[in-house]
Amino acid sequence: MLLASRFRSVWTQRAFLWQVAGKFRLQPLVAGLTRRVFARSPFPLPPVVILQLTEACNLRCRMCYEWGRTGTQLQEGRGGPATLPLGLVESLLDDCRPERTFYSLFGGEPLLYPGFEKMLERAKRNGSSMETVTNGTLLARNAAMLAELGMDLVRVSLDGPREVNDEQRGRGTTDRVMEGLEALYREKQRTGRTSPLLGVIYTVTRDNWHCLERLFCRDLDLRWIDFVTLQMQTFVTREMGLAYERILRREFGCTGTATWRGMLRDPGEFGDLDLGELLRQARRVRSTLLRSGIPTLLFPNTWSEENLSMYLKANWTRMRDYKGHCIAPWVVTDVTARGEVAPCHIFYDLTVGNLGERGIREIWNGEAFNRFRRYMKGRLLPVCPACCQYYGYA
């Protein structure tokens, strides 16, 4: 029975991922995510672009590496939150039209972006697919728009039952998120649409590790959602952050290296986290979701006591999921709210061009980007294993 249950779980997740890949026209990309890397990208344009539409956010989540207690937006010299000009976004969408690029929207809070509707309309007119990550507080007022204009995927951050989530994200946040999830579900029911697919992202921190069951087995109406992501909090140690700074300065002449400081944590902070209890709750949650046909995506991929212990102790090279490479620079790029193009989404200190000066095709195929690819061929930067998303790459 246990083997059969595991088979159903794996099959459901893989079928879901392939369905999403097909929906977003990503089969060629999925097929290309191999261990081979090249001096140049095999794609003439980026198959995936992550757009930071705005740095502005309406919440101040405690663990956020942008606006949290140690967030980069609170560091000196930032000059206030930036917003990506709509003209630059529209030019990017048109330039990438031949590739039918998949766009992932980030912030700040993407739904605060003043040109959101025009951007989404243009992307869909160009034949592209798009997802947005959101804190969910503005979802209810935008539910009809998202469904009508064809947003493909919405991922909502929700980190526990009301008292826990509100403690991390602000009083009243959970009720607004729940209203938004229900509103989008009702809109899809009313119109007969299946899109956007609706997912919940649960980021495990030292403050909410014990609340998985309460959220997914008691508080959340599972009819509303299509999938769940369980991910460990991304964090960086001071030692690896300083080593990262030295490499960027020596190899690329990059002196602005503030992003890692927004994720700075001492592994000792996770000492009270009971991995046995976390994994017990995760197993029950995944089983409950599976019975409702809802797949669970895990980051890192292997949730075992030994593997997660290595993650939380910052012993990343001893993890089962550790790899000596990252294929992201060959298949995805990040565009910041300041128009800078970066080869990494999480650690976007190193930039290789600005859309206000050159088009995306020139930057993607340019010497600065290819120099970074050559450096990354078969190796990692010191901070790479700290990113839980890294473990999802092939």
In the predicted structure, residue 33 carries a pLDDT above the cut 80:
no
Rounded percentage of the chain residues whose pLDDT exceeds 70: 85
- The neighbour count for residue 277, using CB atoms within 10 Å, is 13
In the predicted structure, residue 78 carries a pLDDT above the cut 70:
no
In the block, which residue shows the tokens 């990343």?
Answer: 316
CB 31 within 8 A of CB 371: no
Backbone angles phi, psi at 211, to 5 degrees: -115, 10
Q: Strands 353-354 and 340-342: what pairing?
A: antiparallel
What is d(CA 96, CA 112) in angstroms, rounded to the nearest whole number?
24
pLDDT for position 5 = 41
pLDDT in tens, 252-300: 999 877 888 888 899 999 999 999 999 999 999 999 999 999 999 999 9
What is d(CA 319, CA 63) in angstroms, rounded to the nearest whole number?
24
Question: 333 pairs with which residues across the strands?
Answer: 49
**In 106-141, which positions are buried (b, 16+ CB within 10 angstroms) versus exposed (e)?**
bbbbbbbbebbeebbebbbebebbbbbbbbbbbbbe
pLDDT in tens, 213-249: 999 999 999 999 999 999 999 999 999 999 999 999 9
- The neighbour count for residue 60, using CB atoms within 10 Å, is 15
In the predicted structure, residue 32 carries a pLDDT above the cut 90:
no
Backbone angles phi, psi at 142, to 5 degrees: -110, 5
The mean pLDDT value of the chain amounts to 88
What is d(CA 57, CA 113) in angstroms, rounded to the nearest whole number?
10
